[in-house]
Amino acid sequence: MTDINRRGFLRFVSHATLAGTAIGFPQLALAGNPKVVVVGGGVGGCTTAKYLRKLDPRIEVVLVEPKATYSSCFMSNEVLSGDRTLKSITFDYDGLRRRGVKIVSDRVSAIEPDTKKVVTEGGENIAFDACVVSPGVDFKWDAIEGYDEAVSQDIPHAWFAGPQTVMLRKQIEAMPEGGKVVIVAPPNPFKCPPGPYERASQIAMYCKHFKPKAKILILDPKDAFSKQGLFKQGWSRLYGFGTDNAMIEWVGAALGGTVEGVDPSTRTVMTEFEEIEGDVVNIIPPQKAGQVAFASDLTEGDWCPVDKKSFESKKHKNVYVLGDASSAAKMPKSAYAANSQGKVVAAAITARFNNLELNDPTFVNTCYSILGEEYGISVAAVYALNESKNLIEPIKGAGGLSPMDASDLQRKREVSYAHSWFHNLIDDMMM
């Protein structure tokens, strides 16, 4: 989805680059073609890399990512219901290569803004004129007593699509009939706000058919969550929520939903009021910016402060931070938000290299959640920068939630829309 307020600029850049040097650009005094190094091959990084090449093919773009393929976190909950395989959400970077993006398969150990170099664990020092950092999130491993990275190999978080997603699926399949799944949700802010609640729904989809006496308990350190009314309505209709026979139960902070510790040996989680044993325990820890952001002095507290007009770091010039790691309130930490931010960053960097004025950005977020085989819900919003408040705020009247009184046909269509949204987003960021 193109930045609404930049249409004229994007058309100008596209037409000028197609015309080549006959039109040309006023350029900064660089040694050669400008070079941008993108750190992180997720939604934000891929989108920025692609759109930099689209907007100005003069720009040399290098994407540094340790994994050979990308596995999408959005739609990964469908692996838990059995409606999707991990392979179906895994993609290579060949589409970006075809656009002229150089892919470096390595892990970044640090970014050096003063020397304008990206340092990799493999020993490369990659020079840049601008650096884009989209490292995603990391976990606060010390937040829940008894839970750390080693324990997560048995009690999975499954918050990054990949082997842990498959592990959680296998544990659910192996659970006895009448067993209990305990999902520990994280505090705000965290990546994919509706994710834990869609996860409960997808697990319930599987259990409804194969383990109909199973129970799914969500323990939550919050008293409200994304699309809460729509989720509870769907759970009530599909899984008996709020009744004695409910398959899904949600316990918020006020009722003791905050988990303080875990005993991995017995799969027991401890809240302020009780100890709860699960056959399957899924702990999603509190989150912070990805490790490279801390190693590169891009953070204040848990997240990376940025100029919300361009997403340039407030701590280091020529370095741009976007996606889940950035402080971009009131935008959620979501895939579609990162995609929208990636286009804004690409436009900002292109404008800078070509001495063009940077207009006020507009952002978009859309998020679908699938609660049942024919039951989908969604939220959409358009955002604009309020510079006086230093906030990216929703534009009133633009977007909205699925209606509470939607028909069965509308709910079914939202499932179809969700799958189309998934494919369109993958195409937009990688192809």
| 102-104 vs 90-92, strand pairing mode | unpaired
CATH fold label, 4-66+105-139+288-360? FAD/NAD(P)-binding domain (3.50.50)
Crossing angle of helices 408-430 and 43-55, in 10° steps, is: 60
Give the Cβ contact number of residue 238 at 10 Å.
19
State phi, psi for 379 to the nearest 5 degrees: -140, 140
DSSP, res 306: B
pLDDT score for 323: 97
pLDDT score for 32: 74
Buried b (16+ CB within 10 A) or exposed e, 240-264: ebeeeebbbbbbbbeeebbbeebeb
- Scan for tokens 């204040």, then name that residue: 300
CA 25 – CA 288 distance, rounded (Å): 40
Tokens of 116: 């304008």
Domain with CATH 3.50.50.60 in the chain: 4-66+105-139+288-360, 151-285
Query: What does CATH list as the number for 151-285?
Result: 3.50.50.60
The answer to whether the beta carbons of residues 172 and 166 sit under 8 Å apart is no
pLDDT score for 356: 93
Query: Which tens digits make up the pLDDT trace of 23-61?
Result: 233 444 455 799 999 999 999 999 999 999 999 999 999
CA 63 – CA 287 distance, rounded (Å): 24
Kindly provide the residue ranges of all beta strands, DSSP E only, lying in 252-403, ordered along the sequence: 259-263, 268-271, 275-277, 280-283, 287-289, 319-321, 362-372, 375-386, 391-401
Q: Counting every residue, how long is the chain?
A: 431
pLDDT score for 402: 96
Tokens of 120: 């990799």
pLDDT score for 353: 95
Low-confidence stretches of the chain (pLDDT < 70) are 1-31
pLDDT score for 25: 38
**CA quadruple 55, 57, 60, 64: dihedral sign:** positive
Amino acid at 385: L
